[in-house]
A and B are shown apart, each in its own frame.
Chain A
Amino acid sequence: MNRLLGLSGVLVAFGGCIVGIGVLLAGLRSGRTQQLRLGRTYAFVVFAGSVLAVFAMQRALITRDFTVEYVFDHGSSATPLLFNVATMWSALEGSILLWGLILAGYTAAVAQKFRRRSDDPLVAWALIAMFVVGVFFFGLMLTAANPFRGVIPPVGYDGPGPNPLLQNHILMAFHPPMLYLGYVGFTVPFAFAIAALVTGRVGEGWLVETRRWTLFAWGFLTAGIVLGAWWSYEVLGWGGYWKWDPVENASFLPWLTGTAYLHSVMVQERRGMLRVWNLSLLCATFSLTILGTFLTRSGVVESVHAFSSGSVGPLLLGFFGVVVLVSLGLIGWRGDQLRSPGRIDSPVSREGAFLANNVLFAAFAFVVLLGTVFPLIVEAINGDRLSVGVPFFSRMTMPIGFALLTLMAVAPVLPWRKGTGEVLRERLWWPAWGGVATVLLALVLGATGPTVVLAFGLAGFAAGSAVRQLFLAARRQGWRGFVGRANGGMVVHLGTIMIAVAFAASTSYVRQAEVTLTPGESVTVAGHEITYIGPRTAEFDNRLEQISQIRVDGGQIYEPRLNRFRRGGMTIGTPSVRVGPTEDVYLSVTSSPDGATGELKLRVIIQPLVVWLWVGGMIMLIGTALSLFPGRRRDPLSPASAPVPVADGTATPESS
């Protein structure tokens, strides 16, 4: 029953995509608006199909319908309800199903938003592009990654449940949907970019129309990445949150190119320049989401997250190739129309800074991509096995990070067209002192290491700049000084700076020890008194928890634990963290207490400022929301420029 329901849902969605493409193409050819208007109907058909499929999968999971192979493999009667719902995205087929749902949702949203312009070829082509992506993903569900494959379960069968690592923390229920809302959301600007190329309307119109969609996707991608880091920290038990793992890199790569795009798009909107570059960035962002899915879902790169393997790999890689080729082909085909009408007058200008920003983000993305795939390339060439890990990424990305922080300080105060040294000196005076003050403060607080201290200084400088911009905007416009792209962007900068500081501090000043304790014994680690009180156990449907009670600094009791999952017999540690504004005390049990002596092995990790990573992530999201907040509504047909008071002959200093 669930299989039938689910398969029909997938079929309806798949068919809706195919027919939608056909109708829209026919409508474009004949120019009949009646047919073009049908595009919206088919977008809703696709959405309804995907909702039906997801409903069937959830129903199968909740009712433990083990005749569905996916539930047979990943479901279990012992999984708690929330994680049972989340089981849908704990493995390949279900994740593709979630992908399909979100893609169909975005397609329907685009069709609905642009319903009054359904006879516009740009909108029609954008919908076609989204339907084509839909054909691929729903096609995947009908072939290599069918979530509704059937199986005949033995009598009394109960499944193993999802991977224990994934049912160990509540964040797993939220991190993948957030990430996918971001990942898949980039399909919208990509589809409009393709539509702009096909229709030849490569001006600024399509950029402005998709600006909020892009920001929306970017915000969710940011949230997904930060939540993923938080999940690692709370679950994996070694005190880290980011290890340049291929899966993390796969989500970070589109974030990097997407961030570059969000900046360079402003140059195009204002100056009409960098057209090819912006189109390429969008195509790169979208293809990187596909490449990332390939890397993580085909099992080609080993990693803790790549739980699956199968025949989807070649299909994803093939689709990636098609996307890249089509994008490059279209950009080449429209090459003559993409020539920029303008030029950048001076490197010391806002557009010059955006250009530098883009070079840095592109370099960042390149380094991460190279480091991720390099072991595969070397192995393919001469069979050597080598590893590219944290030391490589830290060393290579650190200078880029420093340059980005510097740019974050300088760029917001730069005028468009051409800046002068005088203007820079005047505007950067207070931010620069902010940087110096941060350095001095860090030294007073006992910071060591010139690189880290320099990072703090640059962060202070950049923060000073962002605060200056917000202060000026707020003084001028009141509460409106915090909304809109420029001002919301400064709030995002502040969140990013917070994350940079927390990252630098927590990786540089981490102190840790592995201690062996018997009940009642105390030990001091980096100035913190850790007392082992004793063990206790707790029973749950799906697991047995061995809890160790630990008192930190004579205060509250913390309970790091080992969870022994009944099915599969896996044991997963759950660390316990004393979160503080200045430092976290992270407790993680490394092996079960010895039966005879009661000895407990405990890893104690003390890291400063970790909590500011999550706070910084929150601030980034708030900033994104503020940027989404509409400024003044304007007539899309009116010229972008305001009248210039040229008659009186006065000019502002920057215009010279």
Chain B
Amino acid sequence: MGVVLLGALVASIDTTPKQGASDDRLYALAVQLKCLQCVGESVGASQAPLAVQFRDEITKQMRQGRSDDEILTFFTTRYGQEVLLTPPSTGLGSLVWIIPVVGAAAALLGLIALFRRWRREADAAPEASAADESVVAAALRERHDAADGAQDADHPDSPRPEAGLSEARRSDDD
């Protein structure tokens, strides 16, 4: 299975060059630029005069054989960081990239620590004896026979979302 999957993914690698002038490349670049004349629209989405002008400029530069990065840098140097919808990777702005990654790492470490603690607690906890379990089961059976005759226990998987602790002992699957 793994081999099939890996082979398939390798076969799917897209080798189309990111060069030359095409409308597809134009719009791929344009949606990375903010339309400074509009509210909340990219150069690719707007019909504002400035956006149209930007798109013409991108087309011109694509024809000159410039790379994607060169074209985007051209706009950034001329119109400032704000024009780029991708936040910067340096300075204060880079925090928007760093904080989530650091946060995710911290959450992962926290989870690992939590599971370790639970594991330790589980090891330390006394085992329930067979006598304990039969007391619980008897109490439950009694309660159910008295109050809830309609609920048949033959269908452990009937939609009963409130099912609780001891239900967990049973497979809820098959």
Contact = CB atoms under 8 A, between A and B. Distances in A.
Contacts of B103: 363, 366
B87 A634 contact: no
Nearest to A374: B96
A632 B160 contact: yes
B64 interface: no
B127 interface: no
Q: Which of B10, B34, B40 has the most CB of A within 10 A?
A: B40
Nearest to A656: B169
Contact of B174 (A237, A304, A367, A472): A472
Contact of B153 (A344, A366, A439, A643): A643
Interface in B75-108: 80-88, 92-93, 95-97, 99-100, 103-104, 107-108
B58 to A, nearest CB: 12
Interface in A399-441: 413, 415-417, 427, 432-433, 435-436, 439-440
Interface string A498-524: 000000000000111110000000000
Given A447-B12, A635-B148, A652 B169 contact: yes
Given A453-B8, A642-B153, A243 B42 contact: yes
Contact of A269 (B85, B158, B161, B170): B161
Contacts of B42: 243, 389-390
A269 B162 contact: yes
B113 interface: no
A490 B38 CA distance: 42
A370 interface: yes
Given A432-B1, A652-B170, A391 B86 contact: yes
Interface stretch (A17-25, A177-185, A473-481): A473-481
Nearest to B134: A646
A302 interface: yes
Nearest to A514: B23
Contacts of B69: none
A386 B82 contact: yes
A450 B172 CA distance: 36
A590 B52 CA distance: 10
A343 interface: yes
Contacts of B9: 439, 450, 453-454
A624 B156 CA distance: 22
8 A-B pairs with least C-beta separation: A484-B159, A389-B85, A631-B159, A640-B164, A303-B40, A238-B45, A643-B141, A513-B23
Given A448-B12, A638-B147, 7 more contacts: A243-B42, A303-B40, A382-B92, A386-B88, A486-B157, A590-B47, A642-B153
